[in-house]
């Protein structure tokens, strides 16, 4: 079990999980099923919580354990359950055609990933040496990629629910950057952020339900009819 104390093993584990986080983000871009998208988000959040747990283990950072636990509880379990119940109530299970078609959307996501790796490379200095203190620093490019792709999803999707998911994945990118570069914000800030996420999901869920009831659709482009 000595390998569990080896920072090099921890770095490889974090890198592997971060790679899967990026794969799940791109999979969400190409997925039109709302239920599958919600579950992909839950899986991505589970991996983020696991990354935080690994970083906490190697750096002996108790407050990061709390951030990991909150991520697993709220973003990988509670939020997906709330969103799946919302989907069941509104009775709409598939996204309409996005503004940019799926093949081109995936190609754009690949381009954004390339940009993120070019930007992130300037912040990564492998000559600093491997160790607990640098664990996860090489995942900044993944964090930027998740952020950029999440922002693109918000612009590209028409349904309010998938735009909410895009916003949540964008926040996942910010969380990954914070947890890997600074090993977490102050605990009170982290708890405030998670509380804000939970409240935002509940408020947006109510808003989506009201939009569906008023317009018989979650296509936000139909709200243009409200203009005078």
Q: What pLDDT shows up at residue 26? A: 92
How many Cβ atoms from other residues are within 10 Å of residue 86's Cβ?
22
Q: What pLDDT shows up at residue 223? A: 47
Q: Number of structural domains, the chain?
A: 1
Q: What pLDDT shows up at residue 99? A: 79
Q: What pLDDT shows up at residue 226? A: 46
Q: What pLDDT shows up at residue 1? A: 58
Q: Is the pLDDT of residue 215 over 50?
A: no
pLDDT digits (tens, 9 = 90+) for 154-195: 888 877 778 788 888 888 888 888 887 766 555 545 555 555
> DSSP characters for 74-134?
IIIIIHHHHHHHHHHHHT--BPPPPSS-HHHHHHHHHHHHHHHHHHHHTT--GGG--SGGG
Q: Residue 85 sits in which domain range? A: 2-223
Q: What pLDDT shows up at residue 47? A: 93
Q: Is the pLDDT of residue 210 over 80?
A: no
Question: Would 228 be classed as within a structural domain?
Answer: no
Question: Would 38 be classed as within a structural domain?
Answer: yes
Q: Average model confidence (pLDDT) for the chain?
A: 76
Q: What pLDDT shows up at residue 44? A: 93
pLDDT digits (tens, 9 = 90+) for 47-81: 998 998 888 888 777 778 888 888 888 888 888 88
Q: What pLDDT shows up at residue 108? A: 92
Q: How confident is the model at residue 22 (pLDDT cuts 50, 70, 90)?
A: very high
pTM: 0.78
Residue 228 DSSP SS3: coil
Question: Would 35 be classed as within a structural domain?
Answer: yes
Q: Which residue has the higher pLDDT, 40 or 222?
A: 40
**Mean pLDDT, residues 148-155:** 89
Distance (Å, whole) CA 94 – CA 35: 8
Question: Would 193 be classed as within a structural domain?
Answer: yes
């Amino acid at each position: 079990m000595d390998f569990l104390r080896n920072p090099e093993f921890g770095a490889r584990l974090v890198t592997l999980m971060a790679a899967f986080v990026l794969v799940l983000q791109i999979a969400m871009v190409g997925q039109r099923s709302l239920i599958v998208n919600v579950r992909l988000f839950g899986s991505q959040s589970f991996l983020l919580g696991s990354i935080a747990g690994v970083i906490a283990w190697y750096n002996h950072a108790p407050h990061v354990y709390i951030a990991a636990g909150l991520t697993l509880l709220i973003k990988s379990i509670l939020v997906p359950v709330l969103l799946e119940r919302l989907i069941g109530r509104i009775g709409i299970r598939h996204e309409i055609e996005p503004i940019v078609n799926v093949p081109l959307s995936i190609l754009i996501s690949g381009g954004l990933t390339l940009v993120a790796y070019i930007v992130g490379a300037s912040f990564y200095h492998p000559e600093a040496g491997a160790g607990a203190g640098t664990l996860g620093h090489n995942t900044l490019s993944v964090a930027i990629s998740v952020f950029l792709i999440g922002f693109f999803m918000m612009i590209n999707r028409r349904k309010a629910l998938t735009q909410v998911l895009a916003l949540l994945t964008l926040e996942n990118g910010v969380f990954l950057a914070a947890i890997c570069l600074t090993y977490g914000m102050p605990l009170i800030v982290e708890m405030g952020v998670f509380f804000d996420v939970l409240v935002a999901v509940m408020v947006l869920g109510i808003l989506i339900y009201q939009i569906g009831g008023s317009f018989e659709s979650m296509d936000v482009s139909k709200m243009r009819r409200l203009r005078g």
